Amino acid sequence: MPESSPVATWPGPAASRDEAFGVLFRAHAAGLVRLAQVLLGDREAAEDAVQEAFVSLYRHWNGLRDHGASRAYLRAAVINRCRSGQGQLIRARRVRERLAVVDWLEPSSEARAVEHDDARRLAAAVQALPTRQREVVVCRYYLELTEAETAALLDIGVGSVKRHAHRGLARLQDRLGGAR
């Protein structure tokens, strides 16, 4: 349904705000929703943008210098709301896309089972190390302590930490079949 001209539907200067507003809404709301829908690509968001524009016009009616320019005011208000709404829709779409990527990156059940099996094998290999090597390996690589912190905790020298770490890692590598 084409928009009727503002002159043909304008109630005149003596009309009340509510009367003029009703005429404006009936004459232009559908066309403004179509405009907003083309800009946003979403009917619901378009209807919201148009509704907000009409509410704003109604609130500021008495401040308008030229009530005949209200159609242009509505069109500009709808376009501005679409610009800001479009940014919100784009941000929401990007969030959904990121979540889809995160879901895609989530390891499969198979991958989790392999990781669990690898972790169990590593734990068993660490458990099989001699006590001092096991303590040093756990402190250095599980607790992520420095050599000095490990030495202080285990009450041994830094050189001993280096030696036990080197020997422990070499044994783990032999047991687990080299670097993975």
What is the pLDDT at residue 29?
93
CA contacts within 13 A on the Cβ side of 72? 6
pLDDT-based confidence at residue 164 (cuts at 50, 70, 90): very high
Name residues whose C-beta falls within 8 Å of residue 10's C-beta, 6 or more positions apart in sequence: 20, 23, 68
**CATH 1.10.1740 domain residues, the chain:** 6-105
**Which amino acid is residue 56, in one-letter code?**
S
**CATH 1.10.10.10 domain residues, the chain:** 109-176
d(Cα 4, Cα 178) in Å, to the nearest integer? 80
CA 175 to chain CA mean position, Å? 44
Architecture of domain 109-176: Orthogonal Bundle (1.10)
More confident residue, 21 or 9: 21
Q: Mean pLDDT across the stretch 39-47?
A: 80
Name residues whose C-beta falls within 8 Å of residue 48's C-beta, 6 or more positions apart in sequence: 81, 85
d(Cα 6, Cα 10) in Å, to the nearest integer? 6
Q: What is the pTM of this model?
A: 0.44
CATH code that applies to domain 6-105: 1.10.1740
Q: Has residue 28 got a pLDDT over 70?
A: yes
More confident residue, 134 or 85: 134
More confident residue, 171 or 101: 171
d(Cα 43, Cα 32) in Å, to the nearest integer? 11
